[in-house]
Amino acid sequence: DAKTTQPPSMDCAEGRAANLPCNHSTISGNEYVYWYRQIHSQGPQYIIHGLKNNETNEMASLIITEDRKSSTLILPHATLRDTAVYYCIVRGTGGGADGLTFGKGTHLIIQP
């Protein structure tokens, strides 16, 4: 699985859009980009995933660059409850059901 690089922390004002970047320059053609988040003392929560097209769901949008070497998770209207550690994970599906490798993630702090 390709390695990812994320900033260790970010601040965002409540009500504004939070844009979380992730670099994955060694991503290969069959690898998806997944985003999870972990609120303190809880299990991680799946947010969104994508292969090459931009994706949107009720939680967030995922923008993947054309060369797929980086992506941005967008929380359109951040609330205090969005304060969490956000993990960007790249993994392929060719190996079937594999566990996830978590990096250090980005600690997003939403300021009131």
Partner 1 sequence: GAVVSQHPSRVICKSGTSVKIECRSLDFQATTMFWYRQFPKKSLMLMATSNEGSKATYEQGVEKDKFLINHASLTLSTLTVTSAHPEDSSFYICSVMGQGISYEQYFGPGTRLTVT
Q: How far is the CB of 41 from partner 1 (least distance, A)?
A: 7
Nearer to partner 1, 47 or 110 (CB): 47
Footprint of partner 1 on this chain (CB under 8 A)? 32, 34, 36, 38, 41-46, 49, 51, 87, 91, 93, 96-105
Nearer to partner 1, 28 or 93 (CB): 93
Q: Which of 90, 105, 95, 97 is nearest to 28 (CA)?
A: 90
* Residue carrying the six token digits 């790249």: 90
Beta bridge partners of 55: 62
